[in-house]
Amino acid sequence: MDALGRHILVEFYNCSPELMNDVVHIENSMVEAAETAGATVINSTFHHFSPYGVSGVVVIQESHLAIHTWPEYGYAAVDLFTCGETVDPWVSYDFLQKAFKASHGSSMECRRGQQSLLQRTDFTVEARDTGQQITPIPRITRDVWFTERDENIALSLKHTGDQLYKKQSPYQKVEVFETLAYGNMLTLDGMVMCTQKDEYVYHEMITHVPMLSHGNVKRALVIGGGDGGTVRELLRHEQIEEVVLVEIDELVIEACKLHLPETASAFDHPKLKLLVEDGIKYIQECANESFDLIIVDSADPVGPGEGLFTAEFYGQVYRCLTANGIMITQSESPRFNTKVFVEIYDTYKGIFGQEKVHCYLAAIPTYPTGTWSFSFSSKGNVHPKDVNMDVAAAFSREHNLRYYNEDIHQAAFALPNFVKDLLKK
């Protein structure tokens, strides 16, 4: 060969959009394309971006293969760079065109480091005979990343590259990844819902704050919450007689039973009534004053959860609460979703009254910004700060809770000034 390396610039068109957004498939394909061409793979690093797009590189002993995808266009830009004569990059090209289901591709080959333009210099490295064996080529290391981002901020979690669960329901894409730092992670349409390592923060705070504030909840309704964590925590309270869980997407339940069993541990509890149906329709048909506590455990205000973020819906929730009932919702991050955060609280105050709506916070590392909020809206006279501290402390100890305790209950309602200012607007 009259050059040091061969560099092929590739564009693949009309690829499968789903495959172009599948970081696991792309990483596996790129590694296999390198190996099929005879390359020695050293490591791989790949990121999936939310809502779509994958970037990554496979480092080979002979150089590298790199890619970035635009699923919305069915398009992938690929670099195939090999050095020496032992690896044929065109083998990788053919492999990837089939792997991505591209209708066609365009390419341009550049010869890098043309020998006629180079002059070799004497360059030697001192060798010492230590009697030790030559270090073998290291085993391939794989860095495959899930990234949730918007225009200004991102969260990345490294996972094993093996996707535990992936199905498309009529409502959303349900996936479970095995992350290295946070265990198994449930995502819906590319947004993190919960992980094994930190799910207890969300679920303890969305349940025990209202349960211990009210003190006598007999019937509770959970809308959403198909991962099972909220009902698991509610059913720790012995006085509760029935919990109704209304989840629209049965695949969420299936995925969590299979891969987040600690979170989904209460689905067979005799006090639980599980309904796979639309929570909005359920609330519309619900009898007046049916529940002491209603928890809207929804995802962000997109997809199947979008209808849960309307004044009409919350007005129906108010109707379904008993005279002293409480509504709890997750109310987004005041830093990440500021506009939605403000609108939510304006809506609640218009329904429950200015003085009966309270915001409280928790630290959840895998949610955008790490600062997450919950709303506490009281139909009657229950105030969250009137909790019996001794009862809350005993409950926390008895159940070995990992986040909630009597001090956290009080402190969660101590809001930073910027949050207070948002709530005044």
Q: Is 247 marked as a binding-site residue?
A: yes
| Helix, strand, coil % over all residues of the chain, rounded to 5 | 30, 35, 35
CB atoms within 10 A of CB 81: 19
Q: Which residues are catalytic?
A: 63, 68, 83, 297
Nearest residue to 75 via CA among 92, 49, 95, 52: 52
Residue 119 labelled as part of a binding site? no
**In the beta sheet, which residues pair with residue 46?**
56, 144
Q: Are 348 and 310 in contact (CB under 8 A)?
A: no
Residues present in the chain in total: 425
Binding site annotation covers 297?
A: yes
- 299 marked as part of a ligand binding site: yes
**Is position 410 annotated in a ligand binding site?**
no
162 annotated ligand binder: no
Can you give the C-alpha Rg of the chain in angstroms?
Answer: 27
Q: Is 292 annotated as a binding residue?
A: no
| Residue 278 annotated as part of some ligand binding site | yes
293 CB contacts (<8 Å, ≥6 apart)? 210, 211, 214, 217, 219, 220, 221, 325, 326, 327, 328
The upper half-sphere exposure of residue 99, i.e. CA atoms within 13 Å in the direction of its Cβ, equals 22
Q: Annotated binding site for spermidine: which residue ranges?
A: 203, 227, 297-300
Q: Annotated binding site: which residue ranges?
A: 172, 203, 227, 247, 278-279, 297-300, 304
Q: Annotated binding site for S-methyl-5'-thioadenosine: which residue ranges?
A: 172, 247, 278-279, 304
